[in-house]
Homo-oligomer: A and B are copies of this chain.
C-alpha cells in the first residue's frame, strides 16, 4: 500500500487591500483558476466611505500549477501592480511563532496554552516572557521556555532591547500580551507593527487605562466587556480585533466584576489570536477587517 505524502496538501492565503475598482475579484479569481487552484474560501469587503477594497482568498495548493515560491512574483506582475494592491501571501504550512508576555494573572495564559496543547491553535510558542516569576511554573507545566525580565522605570529601555533580541533569536512573528501589566514602548511596537495583540479588560473605548473594573463599578454600568486589539502607540486605542461582554448587576462587587470579566477576557483574547494565526485580520486606518 502506498500512502500519499501530505506535503502538498496545504492552502495558500492572499490578503489584499487596494483602491476599489471594477474587476478586482474577477482578476484575482481568474489568476487562481488559470493555475488550476481550487478556492476554498473567499471573503471581500468594500469600505464605501473610503472607496477601498479588501479581500482574502484561500485556495488548495495540491493541484496548483505554480510552485508556492513563484506565486509572489507572478501575482505581483499579473495582478497586484495594475490594481496598486497592498497584499500578503501565506501558506497554512507556516505556523507563526508567538511569544507570550504575562505578569501575574494566569487565566489568559492557561486558556491559550490549553488550546495550543490541544492543537486548536496552529502556532509555535518558543518563549514566554514575564516581569514577574509567579507564572513560571505554568510555563514549565507546558514545557515552554520562560524568561524573566524585571522591569523598572530605569531599566525599561534596556530590558525591552534584550527582549527584542531574544524574540529575534527565537524567530518570533507576533507577540501576545496576556494581561501583561506593562506599557510597551513605541520602539518595541515599531518592531512588531500590527503584530502585538493585547487584551484590555473593558469594552473599549469605555474605561481605557488602568483599573477598568473599578471605573465600571463606579459608573454603575450593567454590562462589562473585554477588548482584544493590536497595540499602537496610543494606549488602548489600537485597531480592535474582537470584543465581548457579560451582563452584571448592582449585586456585583468589584471582586465579582474581576472574576466575571476573566471569563470574557480569555475567550476574547483567544479568539483574536486565532483570527490572527489564521490570517483572517487586516488593519486599515486603525480599524480591522475580520474575514470569514
Stretch at the interface among A7-15, A105-113, A168-176, A182-190: A105-113
Contact B44 A42 (CB under 8 A): yes
A250 at the interface (CB under 8 A from B): yes
Q: Which of A88-96, A124-132, A145-153, A281-289 contacts B (4 or more CB under 8 A)?
A: A281-289
Within 8 A of B (CB), among A42-77: 42-49, 54
Among the listed stretches A79-87, A158-166, A191-199, A200-208, which one makes contact with chain B, having 4 or more residues with CB under 8 Å of it? Answer: A200-208
Q: Are B249 and A222 in contact (CB under 8 A)?
A: no
Total count of chain A residues near the partner, CB < 8 A: 70
Q: Which residues of B contact A110 (CB under 8 A)?
A: 110-111, 114
By Cβ-Cβ distance, the 4 closest A-B pairs, closest first, are A220-B287, A110-B114, A26-B29, A206-B206
Number of copies: 4
A203-B205 contact given A46-B40, A223-B245, CB 8 Å threshold: no
Q: Which of A20-46 contact B (CB under 8 A)?
A: 22-23, 25-26, 29-30, 32-33, 36-46
Contact in complex: A240, B225 (CB < 8 Å): no
Asked if A289 meets B250 with Cβ closer than 8 Å, knowing A225-B223, A245-B245, the reply is yes
Residues of B within 8 A of A44 (CB): 42
A222 touches B239 (CB 8 A): no
Using a CB–CB cutoff of 8 Å, the interface residues on chain A facing chain B are 22-23, 25-26, 29-30, 32-33, 36-49, 54, 105-107, 110-111, 114-115, 117-118, 120, 141-142, 203-207, 219-223, 225, 239-245, 247, 249-251, 253-254, 259, 262-263, 267, 270, 286-290, 292
CB distance from A109 to the nearest CB of B (A): 9
Given contacts A25-B42, A221-B243, A223-B225, list 4 more A-B pairs with CB under 8 A.
A22-B38, A40-B46, A203-B223, A220-B288
Shortest distance in angstroms between A251's beta carbon and chain B's nearest beta carbon?
6
Complex Cα–Cα for A245 and B244 (A): 10
Bound-complex Cα distance A36 to B26 (A): 12
Bound complex: CA A253 to CA B46 (Å): 10
